[in-house]
């Protein structure tokens, strides 16, 4: 049996919940934070806090260096060509909104088309719907098969002269499906269409190389990747970012301001209005250091072992149906239990100290596609092990006893 030697790095996991040891199986929602990240954020506030890019005094100089070092660290982590291609936002949602509004203002007009998939999180649906309402553009949806894999033949047929951008998730937050992103980008580029990749559920679980993928934009969050909340990253190819107008105004995004006209800073600062979340950018850099010390391939393999074990155990229940059975998945497993609502499953599991997610997972169109109102979801991190899966299975027996 696999035991996670990393659990001890996460102080929150040592507590009891309802007098039971905490079993945290909701990392796809938001992962827990290792002590090294917590201490990094605390140390910044204890010793280095000042506003950045503006002060000529020691604290500001130190804070600015740590902030920009974090940008360099993230650039290397995803293998971007330049640190200028790394923009800090408040999260994946903010990043997609930034691109939808800025790219949309520059390049999308009435009757143009935007391609997304049927498995997208609301954060990769609603910003494009807002843009369509503003411009008169139209959304086109890549359908998915019953096993949770995208229909690539249908995807290829969606392209035409009006297609302006593809925005698609790399790994589904519900199905766990790892999409063939490199192939999808190649198809889009053959049609001269740029691609945004929502990497929120990929970055914590697998190696990501944006240069190898050749994506035009890549967005992700810190809080799902062992880092603080309230921080996200937009990677964008320089050729696009230089042509896109600012999304918000004020602070570091300006070069000069007069009442007649303002001029804007170079990238990435053009897209970073106002005082950023300095402490948590630095904290995210510490989270990246933590993941790299373990190794992204090691993290991926660890979670694959847990996914296979959990899948095998869940399939032993005749009344459990797994939602999403793609060949390639991250450590996410969604399921329904006959005649028992997912919220009731989640409540009983919580009484047993087990934290899962239950609901529509910000993916209502996907629930509709599978003809379910909601589902339960267990998701894994580096701190989980097979004992956590065994606790989940015992918890499901408890659910069945409670309701039957």
Sequence length of the chain is: 404
pLDDT at 393: 98
pLDDT at 193: 98
60 alpha-carbon distance from chain centroid: 31
Cα separation, 124 vs 196, whole angstroms: 10
Cα separation, 276 vs 268, whole angstroms: 13
User: What CATH number matches the domain at 37-292, 3.50.50.60, 3.40.640.10, 3.10.129.10, 1.50.10.20?
Assistant: 3.40.640.10
Q: What is the CATH number of domain 7-32+295-403?
A: 3.90.1150.10
- For residue 214 the two structure tokens come to 């050749």
Cα separation, 355 vs 353, whole angstroms: 7
| Angle at the Cα of 242 from the Cα atoms of 238 and 247, rounded to 5 degrees | 115
Exposure string of 369-402, with b = 16+ CB inside 10 Å and e = fewer, is bbeeebbbbbbbbbbbbbebbebbeebbebbbee
Helix (H) or strand (E) holding 367: helix 364-369
Q: How would you write the pLDDT of the chain (404 residues) with one tens digit per residue?
A: 455 799 999 999 999 999 999 999 999 999 999 999 999 999 999 999 999 998 899 999 999 999 999 999 999 999 999 999 999 999 999 999 999 999 999 999 999 999 999 999 999 999 999 999 999 999 999 999 999 999 999 999 999 999 999 999 999 999 999 999 999 999 999 999 999 999 999 999 999 999 999 999 999 999 999 999 999 999 999 999 999 999 999 888 888 888 999 888 899 999 999 999 999 999 999 999 999 999 999 999 999 999 999 999 999 999 999 999 999 999 999 999 999 999 999 999 999 999 999 999 999 999 999 999 999 999 999 999 999 999 999 999 999 999 97
Q: Give strand ranges (E) for 143-268.
A: 163-169, 195-198, 217-221, 232-236, 254-257, 262-264
Q: Which residue do the tokens 């201490």 mark?
A: 39
pTM above 0.95, yes or no: yes
Residue from 150, 207, 208 nearest 179 by CA = 150
Q: Which residue do the tokens 């190898």 mark?
A: 212
* Active-site residue, selected from the candidate residues 132, 215, 362, 375: 362
pLDDT at 324: 97
Residue 339 CB burial class (10 angstroms; 0-12, 13-18, ≥19): exposed
pLDDT at 3: 56
- Residue 116 phi, psi dihedral angles, 5° rounding: -130, 180
- For residue 209 the two structure tokens come to 């190389």
Cα separation, 64 vs 58, whole angstroms: 10
pLDDT at 305: 97
In terms of DSSP bridges, do strands 262-264 and 254-257 run parallel, antiparallel, or are they unpaired? antiparallel
Cα separation, 170 vs 199, whole angstroms: 6
Cα separation, 218 vs 96, whole angstroms: 9
Cα separation, 156 vs 293, whole angstroms: 39
340: helix, strand or coil: strand
Helices (H) and strands (E) in the chain, counts: 13, 17
Which residues, 6 or more positions from 146, have their beta carbon under 8 angstroms from its beta carbon?
none
Domain ranges of the chain: 7-32+295-403, 37-292
Is 362 noted as a catalytic residue in this protein? Answer: yes
């Amino acid at each position: 049996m696999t035991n996670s030697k990393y659990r001890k790095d996460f102080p929150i996991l040592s507590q009891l919940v309802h007098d039971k040891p905490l079993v945290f199986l909701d990392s796809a929602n938001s992962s827990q934070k290792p002590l090294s990240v917590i201490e990094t954020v605390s140390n910044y506030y204890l010793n280095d806090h000042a506003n950045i890019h503006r002060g000529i005094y020691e604290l500001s100089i130190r804070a600015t260096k740590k902030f920009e070092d974090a940008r360099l660290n993230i650039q290397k982590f995803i293998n971007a060509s330049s640190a200028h291609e790394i923009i800090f936002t408040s999260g994946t949602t903010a990043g997609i909104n930034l691109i939808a509004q800025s790219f949309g203002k520059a390049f999308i007009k009435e009757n143009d088309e935007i391609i997304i998939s049927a498995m997208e999180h609301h954060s990769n649906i609603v910003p494009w719907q807002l843009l369509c309402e503003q411009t008169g553009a139209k959304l086109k949806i890549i359908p998915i098969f019953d096993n949770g894999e995208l229909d690539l033949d249908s995807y290829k047929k969606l392209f035409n002269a009006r297609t302006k951008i593809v925005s698609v998730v790399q790994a589904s937050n519900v199905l766990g499906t790892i999409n063939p992103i490199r192939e999808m980008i190649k198809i889009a580029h053959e049609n001269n269409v740029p691609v945004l990749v929502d990497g929120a559920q990929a970055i914590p679980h697998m190696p990501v190389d944006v240069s190898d993928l050749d994506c035009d934009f890549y967005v992700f969050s810190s809080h799902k990747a062992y880092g603080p909340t309230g921080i996200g990253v937009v990677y964008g190819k320089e050729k696009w970012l230089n042509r896109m107008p600012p999304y918000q105004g004020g602070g570091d995004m300006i070069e000069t301001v007069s009442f007649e006209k303002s001029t804007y800073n170079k990238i990435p600062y053009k897209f970073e209005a106002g005082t950023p979340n300095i402490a948590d950018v630095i904290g995210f850099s510490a989270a990246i250091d933590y993941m790299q010390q373990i190794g992204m391939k090691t993290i991926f393999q660890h979670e694959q072992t847990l996914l296979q074990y959990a899948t095998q155990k869940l399939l032993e229940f005749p009344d459990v149906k797994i939602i999403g059975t793609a060949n390639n998945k991250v450590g996410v497993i969604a399921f329904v239990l006959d005649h028992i609502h997912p919220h009731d499953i989640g409540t009983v599991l919580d009484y047993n100290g087990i934290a899962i997610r239950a609901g529509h997972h910000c993916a209502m169109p996907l629930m509709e596609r599978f003809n379910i109102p909601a589902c339960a979801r267990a998701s894994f991190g580096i701190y989980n092990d097979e004992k956590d899966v065994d606790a989940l299975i015992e918890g499901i027996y408890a659910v069945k006893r409670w309701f039957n």
